Copies of this chain bind each other. A is one copy, B any other.
């Protein structure tokens, strides 16, 4: 195994064992390199790799630090990974979201505080009467993020956040091309909010299912007809 990979493991171990706690600063490059028994160049490769997945945070002129290691930070790195297969597997991602979102919404109906619920309602109100599609989708993302957060499960919340990215583009596309999609989205958001406010987990779950399934169904149909028309799957506008 290359020394760089060994170094990655060693740093990983130092963090897992608690020798390095979140927020701690690492020894300077030269020092750590000597301690791990490799050159600065090789060490830097290890550090850069751990930076990509948000485990380390390097600040030029200052030093290298362990991040907070909170789930949202680490799962967040998954967004980078998901970027690599947007076109072919979007449906699979959406299917997973269809499983998780209703569950999270039901949990939120049980666990969210009254204050959080009030904030959720206000958030819906901030949307203009005749919003642009971009504004709607942004509002959409934040709405679901608040609910996911309200589930009380940090891992679930981060996972949904990661899954939202790739599917957001599909939602924008839908808003632009499907008649009535905007109005329908607003209605369903209101229904979900009402169900949560009424502390009705099963009703909230059902509305969430309907909501996500709507996007999924539309996308399935669209991809089906698109494939029939254009053998070339378009590389579409990024995000």
Contacts and interface: CB of A to CB of B under 8 A. Distances in A.
Contacts of A69: 84-85, 238
Interface in A83-97: 83-86, 89, 92-93, 95-96
A11 B38 CA distance: 27
Q: Summarize A's interface: helix, strand, loop or mixed.
A: helix
A52 B46 CA distance: 9
B155 A96 contact: yes
A4 B49 CA distance: 11
Contact of A71 (B15, B74, B92, B154): B92
Copies in the complex: 2
A77 B81 contact: yes
B81 A75 contact: yes
A41 interface: yes
A235 B155 contact: no
Contact of A48 (B4, B68, B78): B4
29 contacts: A12-B83, A16-B83, A16-B84, A17-B235, A18-B235, A44-B45, A45-B45, A45-B48, A45-B49, A48-B48, A49-B51, A49-B52, A53-B81, A69-B238, A70-B238, A71-B89, A71-B92, A71-B239, A72-B239, A75-B81, A78-B78, A92-B153, A92-B154, A92-B155, A92-B156, A93-B155, A95-B156, A96-B153, A96-B155
